[in-house]
Structure 1
């Protein structure tokens, strides 16, 4: 018959451990004692397993008694101090009017009595019931848990007899010391002077991380049986879905600091569906990021599906089993283009027409039964390169380049934007693979922020084009601005009578923002308007600098028959590659302006005005490594709109510079600030002042919250429209400014309390429900006078509302 460690370890012995831990002052000594206890438990468990493999060595029964407030595997007991006192009076047949009976029932009064030395309700119970308890209990940890399960079950089905029967069994078989700790366990107030972080780390270095994902102590103890085997090694097994490793969004200026001088790999970020491929012999399975299986779509063996039958023979013959990680994208074989999610391509569909699935690989996690997650990324990439033979349009390896400085990021990022890709990934070459890890994993994603800042949307005319890489389509366009002969300095823009003489100055090249459908449409509409470009013979209206190197494949014969595109960019930068002497940083197409012609697009005079007004924002070179993350404007610079432009003198600039921050208090936190500046006369307490403060303490500031990446929002007024919208969506915590200022003043992140938040998401609300009553009074910690005043204010407000 199978037995468990918990059935062999007495509850009395466990309570002696708790008593010892509670009386020690130093945290390191407490941890050492707890680690020793856990090690002995594991040793005993191993001995039991050697006798019978079915014996249970799980630490779960002990863990749920150490951390009862985190035990989601057992229903609530429905018991607080008053009800427990009544149950004790009934179980031990105490007279309610006796001194002992009154002490228990009126425990709050008893606790305040200076003549009675009790630290909590549990110690009061131990003192009152000491003579009615055994000298030494006879119950095991397993038996105590069995009775606690019965109490919880009785509460759920509202069977008071079952509850009393189980309590009676416990009370008759425990000592006074055990009774005290039993009461604390039932009330979920086991005060050992040990944080849950320290208890988790004593058990396993990945225990808290796993609990935060699984929210189950049982799963933590079942999965992490060996403290020397890390979580990322356990989670990866063939034909079992797991959540992939993720990247945190970052800016180029922060990369060197985050990498601590180590090298990193730069990879292209594709806009597809994250997908794992598992292979064992000729069996294949595909799992999405959410763990959904799509093997029936891509193919369960080498003869099936719309992918496996094409790529199974691209794996080296030595590969018997493997798990690969990558991105599934849609590939257009006719135009040789990779599609995007914006084109509503369902790459998981069985009925694709224009597109076919192509698997872009970037990692290998298991090979021939050997888990590779603990290997550094650099080694895993070498393994991946050796086992895959790319097949165009079906399977490919993501391009990867090893770099070490933030300045080396710029060229690949520009290239990714130019070719319409989503951005780039930066990965620490020494990073190990951690399933379901985003923060502090060493993976970062960088995308250009196309925000509305000092740079307005511009209407520019197509004057030339370039064929895509291995594509039959013109995918990139040379854009220009018009110079009208005799143009008045204060004119708003060109007229459209077609009679004026004009020139068109090259200004920028754009290749992103258009869907494939729009791209094909543009190619069709302009197909009869192109002529081959020759540097010795091109139209007289086209003005190119002598330094121009990006020669187009074709140019427009008559610009009046060309098409105008509305372009968005981050800002203007100097460049000798264009006749205008300036170009755009990170340009993309916002929309096609079929309603405009070349004489109604941005004029050279308008461009010079824009340059003059934006001069403080100009930088030399193609790109800088700082971003303006705050400046906002909704105006577009076109013929009719330029005269109405205003550039606010107090435009907010929260620029993260390469010099870094003065504190690490908020390192790794992505925060959005939503402030009403009207009530603040102090510039430091304005929106820009708060953002500067956040950045100084290591936070990443964003202007619009992302439910997937933003940690929380700081706000000073819940009536702000943006705050109302966030509250309505319910995804993100909205924290009061006072909490931030308090944390900074104490140089530590203070734990949130209900009155610190304007709004909380479901996860935070559940945590508050576990720790606080309906008015925000914490169950387990004493309340300060200031907190008490806040509670009473809240109660009065609720009464007024009701």
Structure 2
């Protein structure tokens, strides 16, 4: 029997609820244990998606599941379905709770639809869980999706009714969240995938296929995933990193790069094989049906030299009458959904900037320069339909400034700086080799900030009695969150909008305000001294585009700074809450200084580094070798084994010195950090004798791997996950993760021990190891001591009364202590808490007295090393 037939949906719901309520550090452990139980089930077979972990993963990550069509059920539809199926009158108390679930008056704190449904079902006496399996629920969900695709409403109704009426209250809660494709248990999809396998998120980004993730990455001990794209398999395209103009010089100095126009359109990846074209959005949604009507017939001849390919680009609109481009912000319709009537006035135009597969050849590992040459050679263009993105070589920061000034003059969105040697990495933004530069990133040009409304305050004067001032926040960087997005308060704003604009905004926010309770603040929001009167969940909020004169320090807000004289420039209804500024972006802006106006042309070399004061000459000083970072400017990557992992080499060996190790790490695709940081994958050391390493070991905040591990990886030319004995010291999180594969002495549960492994395991036990007294140990102890009837000491505490000062000369005392410990007793140094007392009588006999007079005492026979009961 497959695992999904054996695993109940009730158990899955209990898991989700436990994860929701668990502390952050325990969430991953709960999920990992469940995954392990699935893998260890007799019905688990990873060669087939149906018998692999896929049936569970598509429930854990419903928003990433592309295996079935949309359910066609949003909150409004589900409200009506539950009212119909449960026979609840909309005007009744329960009907109002369901219909107007977003209003805070229906709960002490704002609740979601799934929680309210659970409470109502529980109040009706439905407390029993169902006997439906995960397969039963998945089958119903698939039929609902197919019925929606076919326009079969009765199919939707019947399958949903079967689920709602048969599932218990808690199961209904998680069913609703699965249908809405947001489990919202504060565990991100990236963490879920990487708990299944460390490479799962990277692998998914290349094919957006959860089933393939479960089959190809079934064994989480095998690493070494290589990027490979497949025609007609959608993936998450490569992203560009935001950067300030003053950092361009340090990034591009001495490194060839190109400058590309940043297009304000829809990111579209085109796949072609034979005569078939498919078009996918950056999120993997298929828009082929629309573009194959409005676009493919007009650009097909451009592919005469190409049999199959994957190309990446930006889709804009073209105004036929004005003979001009139309950006996304200017379009009053969706370019992905043009109708035949629209085509008379507008049509798509595709600007291609990369090619990833061409005539069966994978190009992702080739440098951008070579990919661009292949693109120019094989892909023909058609004016105003299919065009190559504008690119030009850059030599220094002045080329970048000139191109950005041109973009400003032309009212373009900005520019992209790309290293010519950058390889293509799906869904990678940081350290990708692509950098975006927009006018609003530049100090003084467009000093606007996209901030999220998270709180509200009543106004005064003519705006008294209404919420007219708002608390604003920035998003915490995603890498720092394993439990979903969090936000930090940053400031307040109460001007810049008209009464009519405020009225429209308040109408949209009105259903979502929640009274702020200082004793129960919202979990998504980090606050300083200032507290809002009301708060609003991020998903129900809006972004304000704000101008300000400068930053100033303030402990009123969680960020630690705020804005001076802020005012609203625009209310951005077109942006999602997740588009707001992040803490990392804010920090980068703060490094520039105040928000005052300045021309790009005024930038000079002096902006890159402060003016240096003259100093008196001093004698040359040298750093110790372990503090010197290798010169890595001329080091080129020969093979991407380490896949961007950042490492800090603390020291080296005579065989592989520190500087040589650092160069090898870069050559094989890694990055070097001069000092330990939270971004480091690990620290590398050979010797543990120097003070720096000793201190790092003492605090235990970083994983420190042996240099031998790195040498082993490079020798095998394959990334090998560190085993237990590869660590000099490990963090508690790493130890917890490895506990699934190794016991506490480093003995693998899955791989036979070698002689060296056995020696290392024995050495790690030490002489002070204490046996844990679990049930099996107690049973063995009872059998062993059955003759002496001493098994009753299992778990007891024995106080050793005053012994002779020369007790070392009494071997029987040492034997007695050893036998008590071996029998399961603990030696206590406090008489008050002990259960037994060991004394030496006048005859030099060792007596074990029970503190309960009614129980037996024992005398130790030193000749036989046994205890005998004392009877009257």
Tell me which interval the TM-score lies in, with the shorter structure as reference length. Answer: 0.3 to 0.5
Q: What is the TM-score with the length of structure 1 in the denominator?
A: 0.38
Q: Which has the higher contact order (CA 8 A, sep 6+)?
A: 1
TM-score (norm 2): 0.35
